[in-house]
Chains A and B, each alone.
Chain A
């Protein structure tokens, strides 16, 4: 996320920002106030200097007046003035001027006219100051500064009173550098005189060597940026106009701004340094605080990642320092332990079979995988309750569950063994070591009788064993091969088998057969062919019927016998398709035979699965119907034993077929647990005696008795009899004698193709015709 910051950064930024802000405020304040203070101090000093200058000038004026008074109060001088004795006056001015070291001495009349002056003032032109003189006359005394010949003078005017004013004496002292030095010695400020020369203020005297007017600035217009940062030499000044009327002369109080600011600059520097130090200190404190706050949180984040990965072992330490964080840590630890507890429960439930409490299939996979990965040799046992579905059907599901629980309870008593139930009636036992469990122990344990619904039953169980990794090196293979082994147990009616490699070869072969069968049915029915074995009527001596026999020649697997692929087709649900194909092909062949003027009944073998499926039966009737051949040309043969599983439905569907006009035969009669009761109820009209009784009929007396009895029995039920496997003349003769209606076997003909059948029948017909 953009703009997302860590808590640590946020705290750090907030604190440091605040401190930096405060610091800047303080610094700015200090800077502004010190600058202001410097400015004020300077203005104040300059003002003081101005007042000092005024005071000094005043004091000087007073002193000058006193010394001037000496002159004007002199009676002789008064007399000289009153009598206008010019020579005497001039000499008096000279004399007095020398005595007091005055630069200017002059006497003026009341209207400002020069009466006399001392020799030093020869060149002065006093007309410029006549207004001063006239005003001084009326005021009787005055003190001022005047500019004469670009020199600045402090002058005293005093009237000469006799006793009323009759003239004005002027005494002047030039103001030059010594005066400025005197001021400087008092105020410590630089001083200068400036004069208006050629429309321009020029400095004419100064205590500061080489200072020029343009270096001076008013305190109010000082650029502090230049002073503080650029450290320019700047001089602030305050000026006092000395002669307002002349306009030109000014006394300047000058202050070196840098020197004023130096102290403040030091202060600012110190405060800045302190502020920076404080900032650094505060930052480091903020850093520590932020760290202290965020450290436990980071720990928590790390810990929660661990928890997310399923590691619950580490509890967080509680000494975080902050109550909230401690509470959070506490809550987190609590949560962690709760999550752990719940996960344990969930895992238990996830790993366990609900019914038995044993490990379930997925848990078994995990454990088995782990064991395989350990790389050590071990054995795996599979235990399967035989025909478990039957138990459910017979005793009910509750009893079935009890059965499963009983077995599970027994298996659970095994020590050092991992026990799991992986499906309906299937258990897996993995001993921790070869010594932990022997096959015999296991079989003995589970074969103990148990009470179910107050009925004692002996469990019918198969046990399979496989050695890992020798015989299977992955979970899937282990379970599959155990399954194959169990199937083998079942097939061979055995309690126990250790897996052998050929089990799987057979299994794989069967798988291949199923796969190829599926393929052939879908895409290549050419692989199938029908052979017909004629049935000879013993009465007429002619062939009136034949049995259709399915043959399969697969390009990959070669010739495959029906005894192999028919059961597989039944198991894999392909049997219906196969039956339909046979029926259609028979119908096609019948058309060919009819075209050849051959009219026989062809028997088709139906699987029990076909017969027990109402839809299939309907479709068979439809197919034959559509061919419009008439039901008398098709008959069906059924194997008796297969029908027992659902006798009622079988009888119902058989009745349908019979009602449709088909004749039905019981195939392989005598091999299964034939029940006469069924025989009575079944809507069949023919019995086919199994060839096992017929093949050696001429040799075995018992077979002769059996066959004879069956024929009698059939006839007593109004059933016709077909004998299969007739291979000798003697057999034929005997059967004919006993009243068997039809005979079938190599003696008559082996199974032949449809075309050959037509040919054969023709020969037979000819032969018959010939013999008759």
Chain B
């Protein structure tokens, strides 16, 4: 299957390179699986305009909405609570540690993220709630789409870093990637754990058989 898929992708890529000028790459993880939702960042001197609008990280049905929020450095994020229960949103990430103690409703002051980096959000009451805020600095970011393809509209690919919320790695780390220009493939150095559809973010305790 994998080979077939590879072949089809190869055909697609061939068509892409010959029919269009698009700069399309395939992103695969350490296990060679195409990865969706990888944020690839390339340092850029051109600073984007300082955003004025306030980003929203909503909480709906005990989930962060969106799960991943990409913002500009210095941008404000507000954490409205759309559930009718209280949440206790916190971050121990060095990029921006903060804590919004038990609250309800949307009447919450926005938080400004001054540093670039990754912020992992949690809820002290609902352990299963995990959200991510990617704070961009001087960089261009590209998000891989479905089937792991990403179109890099940058001039260069040097010093490319990759990050994924489900990377099997410390959540805040961004990693260097390896580019294969002949196959136009970006190799991530980490594995990405694809969450099971119903995986609750609880401390599962697999029964370990004695003697094994």
- In the complex, what residues of A have CB within 8 A of residue B122's CB? 161-164
* Chain B 192-208 interface 0/1 with A at a Cβ cutoff of 8 Å (1 = within): 00000000010111111
Task: Report the separation of the CA atoms of residues A653 and B88 in the bound assembly, to the nearest whole angstrom.
Answer: 184
User: Which B residues from 68 to 116 make CB contacts under 8 A with A?
Assistant: 88, 90, 92, 97
A244 interface residue per 8 A CB criterion: yes
Choice from B127, B204, B207, B212 contacting A163 with Cβ under 8 Å: B127
* Chain A 51-72 interface 0/1 with B at a Cβ cutoff of 8 Å (1 = within): 0011001100110010001001
Task: Determine whether the beta carbon of B120 is less than 8 Å from that of A162.
Answer: yes
Task: Report the separation of the CA atoms of residues A82 and B207 in the bound assembly, to the nearest whole angstrom.
Answer: 28
Task: Report the separation of the CA atoms of residues A78 and B120 in the bound assembly, to the nearest whole angstrom.
Answer: 14
Q: Provided the pairs A78-B92, A82-B92, A140-B203 are in contact, do residues A164 and B171 lie with their beta carbons within 8 angstroms?
A: yes
Task: Determine whether the beta carbon of B203 is less than 8 Å from that of A158.
Answer: yes
* Chain B 13-44 interface 0/1 with A at a Cβ cutoff of 8 Å (1 = within): 00000000000000000000000000000000
- In the complex, what residues of B have CB within 8 A of residue A242's CB? 210-211
Task: Report the separation of the CA atoms of residues A54 and B208 in the bound assembly, to the nearest whole angstrom.
Answer: 9
- In the complex, what residues of A have CB within 8 A of residue B207's CB? 58
Task: Determine whether the beta carbon of B211 is less than 8 Å from that of A240.
Answer: yes
Task: Determine whether the beta carbon of A163 is less than 8 Å from that of B130.
Answer: yes
Number of A-B pairs whose CB atoms are under 8 Å?
71
Q: How far is the CB of B173 from chain A (nearest CB, A)?
A: 11
Task: Determine whether the beta carbon of A110 is less than 8 Å from that of B170.
Answer: yes
Task: Report the separation of the CA atoms of residues A143 and B120 in the bound assembly, to the nearest whole angstrom.
Answer: 27
Task: Report the separation of the CA atoms of residues A598 and B123 in the bound assembly, to the nearest whole angstrom.
Answer: 198
- In the complex, what residues of B have CB within 8 A of residue A69's CB? 203
Task: Report the separation of the CA atoms of residues A158 and B206 in the bound assembly, to the nearest whole angstrom.
Answer: 12
Choice from B97, B120, B206, B209 contacting A164 with Cβ under 8 Å: B120
Q: How far is the CB of A326 from chain B (nearest CB, A)?
A: 78
Task: Report the separation of the CA atoms of residues A251 and B210 in the bound assembly, to the nearest whole angstrom.
Answer: 10
A730 interface residue per 8 A CB criterion: no
B124 interface residue per 8 A CB criterion: yes
- In the complex, what residues of B have CB within 8 A of residue A79's CB? 92
- In the complex, what residues of B have CB within 8 A of residue A53's CB? 210
Task: Report the separation of the CA atoms of residues A244 and B208 in the bound assembly, to the nearest whole angstrom.
Answer: 12
Task: Determine whether the beta carbon of B203 is less than 8 Å from that of A159.
Answer: yes
Q: Provided the pairs A57-B210, A73-B127, A162-B92 are in contact, do residues A141 and B121 lie with their beta carbons within 8 angstroms?
A: no
- Which residue of chain B has its CB nearest to the CB of A109? B170
- Which residue of chain B has its CB nearest to the CB of A80? B92
Choice from A50, A138, A141, A166 contacting B203 with Cβ under 8 Å: A141
A75 interface residue per 8 A CB criterion: yes
Q: Provided the pairs A75-B124, A82-B92, A162-B120 are in contact, do residues A142 and B208 lie with their beta carbons within 8 angstroms?
A: yes
Task: Determine whether the beta carbon of A163 is less than 8 Å from that of B123.
Answer: yes
Q: How far is the CB of A111 from chain B (nearest CB, A)?
A: 10
Among A53, A110, A143, A162, the most chain B Cβ lie within 10 Å of the Cβ of: A162
- Which residue of chain B has its CB nearest to the CB of A111? B170
B168 interface residue per 8 A CB criterion: yes
Give the contact-size bracket for chain A. 35 or more
Q: Provided the pairs A73-B127, A140-B203 are in contact, do residues A83 and B170 lie with their beta carbons within 8 angstroms?
A: no
User: Which B residues from 149 to 201 make CB contacts under 8 A with A?
Assistant: 168, 170-171, 201
Task: Determine whether the beta carbon of A143 is less than 8 Å from that of B201.
Answer: no
Task: Determine whether the beta carbon of A54 is less than 8 Å from that of B210.
Answer: yes
B135 interface residue per 8 A CB criterion: no
Task: Determine whether the beta carbon of A143 is less than 8 Å from that of B130.
Answer: no
Choice from A139, A161, A244 contacting B212 with Cβ under 8 Å: A244
A241 interface residue per 8 A CB criterion: yes
Task: Determine whether the beta carbon of B92 is less than 8 Å from that of A144.
Answer: no
- Which residue of chain B has its CB nearest to the CB of A163? B122
User: Which A residues from 696 to 755 make CB contacts under 8 A with B?
Assistant: none
Task: Determine whether the beta carbon of A240 is less than 8 Å from that of B210.
Answer: yes
Choice from A54, A65, A163, A251 contacting B209 with Cβ under 8 Å: A54
B129 interface residue per 8 A CB criterion: yes
Q: How far is the CB of B60 from chain A (nearest CB, A)?
A: 17
Task: Determine whether the beta carbon of B203 is less than 8 Å from that of A65.
Answer: yes
- In the complex, what residues of A have CB within 8 A of residue B127's CB? 73, 161, 163
- In the complex, what residues of A have CB within 8 A of residue B212's CB? 244
- In the complex, what residues of A have CB within 8 A of residue B97's CB? 82-83
- In the complex, what residues of A have CB within 8 A of residue B208's CB? 61, 142-144
Task: Determine whether the beta carbon of A139 is less than 8 Å from that of B129.
Answer: no
Q: How far is the CB of A603 from chain B (nearest CB, A)?
A: 153
- In the complex, what residues of A have CB within 8 A of residue B170's CB? 110, 166
Q: Provided the pairs A240-B211, A244-B211 are in contact, do residues A166 and B92 lie with their beta carbons within 8 angstroms?
A: yes
Among B121, B122, B209, the most chain A Cβ lie within 10 Å of the Cβ of: B122
Task: Determine whether the beta carbon of B204 is less than 8 Å from that of A140.
Answer: yes
* Chain B 118-153 interface 0/1 with A at a Cβ cutoff of 8 Å (1 = within): 001111100101100000000000000000000000
8 more A-B contacts (CB under 8 A) besides A61-B205, A62-B205, A161-B122?
A: A50-B210, A58-B207, A65-B203, A75-B88, A162-B122, A163-B130, A166-B170, A240-B211
The 22 listed contacts between A and B (C-beta, < 8 Å) are A50-B210, A53-B210, A54-B210, A61-B205, A61-B208, A69-B203, A79-B92, A110-B170, A138-B168, A142-B206, A161-B122, A161-B127, A161-B201, A162-B122, A163-B120, A163-B121, A163-B130, A240-B210, A242-B210, A244-B211, A244-B212, A251-B210
A-B pairs with lowest CB-CB distance, top 10: A163-B122, A82-B92, A164-B171, A54-B210, A162-B92, A141-B203, A141-B205, A163-B130, A240-B211, A241-B211
